[in-house]
Structure 1
């Protein structure tokens, strides 16, 4: 894809996804993108050990700031022709979506543990 300065894009940076604008083509492999809004909030924790809460350093990842410029590989950038939401509204929506997703996973894990405990009792009944 040939991007031009001024093109609106959706771009991934680490584990977050952003609406942005190309401000510089720094090489044939990367572009500088100005952040306009947040599509998906970055994932928390250690990327090398996903879903592991007991790692030595559990990373807190903040969303990139409004108007911040980040150098992103072209492979993580795609054109965007829609309306860009306000940064504040998009950040709130993305944060709430991440919280809701994790809350749903937590509820699923609790229910799964209940079902597995029942199966454990059926597979290996307690001796009387």
Structure 2
């Protein structure tokens, strides 16, 4: 039970481009305090206002929230979570691997696009 006598609730939250499972341990009229238990999606790297742009003033490096780290989120963003709670370390490893694979796929796509555009440029006689 928390300070108000309510039992804690397991929730899914989004926080700074990452998604997590955690325990709601406190709340007020606007926010929920969540203790992180697992990572569902690793945070995105780079400038969020200039997606996929490497040449920005500040290219952000974002780490996932750590195990049992506490974070306040808007109440409406904390959704009930009923699935099994994965082990934090395993969930972090999986989320990081998925994000790295996604970026690698985009990199390979961009490289192939450049190859094809070079052929098109030659076809244009440029």
Establish whether TM, by shorter chain, passes 0.5.
yes
Residue equivalent to 1:81? 82
Q: Would the aligned equivalents of 1:5 and 1:22 in 2 still touch at CA under 8 Å?
A: no
Mapping for residues 16-35 of structure 1, pairs under 5 Å = 16-27=18-29, 29-35=30-36
Residue equivalent to 2:125? 125
Distance 2:26 2:8 in 1: 9
TM-score, scaled relative to structure 2? 0.90
Mapping for residues 20-59 of structure 1, pairs under 5 Å = 20-27=22-29, 29-59=30-60
Distance 1:69 1:52 in 2: 31
Distance 2:79 2:94 in 1: 21
TM-score, scaled relative to structure 1? 0.89
Question: Would you say how many aligned residue pairs link Structure 1 and Structure 2?
Answer: 121
1:26 to partner: Cα distance: 2.3
Alpha-carbon RMSD across the aligned residues, in angstroms, is: 1.3
Structure 1 unmatched ranges of 5 or more: none
What whole-Å deviation, never above 9, does each CA across 1:85-118 have from its counterpart, x for those lacking one?
A: 0000000000111100000000000011111111
1:5 to partner: Cα distance: 4.9
Residue equivalent to 1:66? 67
Structure 2 unmatched ranges of 5 or more: 1-5
Distance 1:5 1:19 in 2: 17
- Give secondary structure in 2 for the equivalent of 1:18: strand
